[in-house]
Structure 1
């Protein structure tokens, strides 16, 4: 079962246990060890570093909402640094690789996604691509159209963003196009 509230609660539990703000914990245990210099938890509504999100052609200026997301979607990063994180996540740099199987017990949320623990599975049925099946992708995507997925069958990592809230499926279409570039 997917719920943003679960990540808010987890973030708060981490803060209580460590006695530190969640941004500081993420920095200490993930961002600094992976040398992610442009990745941080967005917690300052005056921060103008990230580009605006878009709804169709209109930029959205929602800094107060962005600061409220915290551990369930408030991390700012670049595609390059998202790639570094994704490789570390699936490569065993953050925790033993054997734990991945525990995270990937899939539950349906909405087509064509399934959700495990902190990771999603994007897999289209064969009927959508009858001549050339699309392999599964495991990772995560966000409301903004940002995505970070790994394709185990091809050993391919894809990260990026379409920076578009109006068309949530656009990032998945881009992932499929990118996959086809590597065929």
Structure 2
């Protein structure tokens, strides 16, 4: 028997959001229907190839044999072998990339190379709280630590996205600062954010 889930707030409630990977799975399916191909083809033909992202590819049932080519995923100190899980993630997190390719993508994403700049304005016009200090626009995150997070060196708001494995890809518009990287860590979810705070404190 299926269990029903009750939302904590009504759809469209101002200032409220709930993150769900299901939304990305649905979006991936929309892309496949519109383009007439699979999601991997769309990523390769519309993003990776035009931007020259030579080290960016998607885990799929056909590419799961390349699992050992990437840096190991960890749960604390224990390595994880999740090729089947990664191959099933698709639009909500099955992408392999490098810090350099991530920076190239983020610059293109914010700079209007992938879609009109007016789309980004709409995506970032309203921020809804998920949990402090993470807010969500339309398909994009804002990491906006309150002053007490770093009282001696206030951290500027960052827009971009993070991933469950500790991947971060953010931009600080106030300082034109870009951050791309990963800790490949599932257990310590806050680790990349603490590292970003330390890094930004040294740079701004």
Return 149-158 or 43-52, whichever deviates more.
Answer: 43-52
Q: CA RMSD in A?
A: 1.2
Count of residues in Structure 1 that have an aligned counterpart in Structure 2: 183
Q: Residue 179 of structure 2 is aligned with which of 147, 155, 158?
A: 158
1:72 maps to 92
Deviates more, 1:1-10 or 1:148-157: 1-10
1:31 aligns with 2:51: no
Runs of 5+ unmatched residues, structure 1:
none
* Structure 1 outlier segments of 4+, above 4 Å: none
Larger Rg: 2
Give the structure-2-normalised TM-score.
0.86
Residue 180 of structure 1 and its aligned partner are, at CA, apart by 2.3
Match of 2:109 in 1: 89
| Per-residue deviation, 1:174 | 1.1
Shift of residue 128 of structure 1?
Answer: 2.1
Please tell me whether residue 117 in structure 1 is matched to residue 138 in structure 2: yes
Q: 1:175 aligns with which of 196, 200, 203?
A: 196
- Structure 2: give runs of 5+ residues left out of the alignment: 1-16
In 1: Cα distance, 2:118 partner to 2:29 partner: 27
How high is the TM-score relative to the length of structure 1?
A: 0.95
Following the alignment from structure 2 to structure 1, what is the Cα–Cα distance between the partners of residues 99 and 154? 26
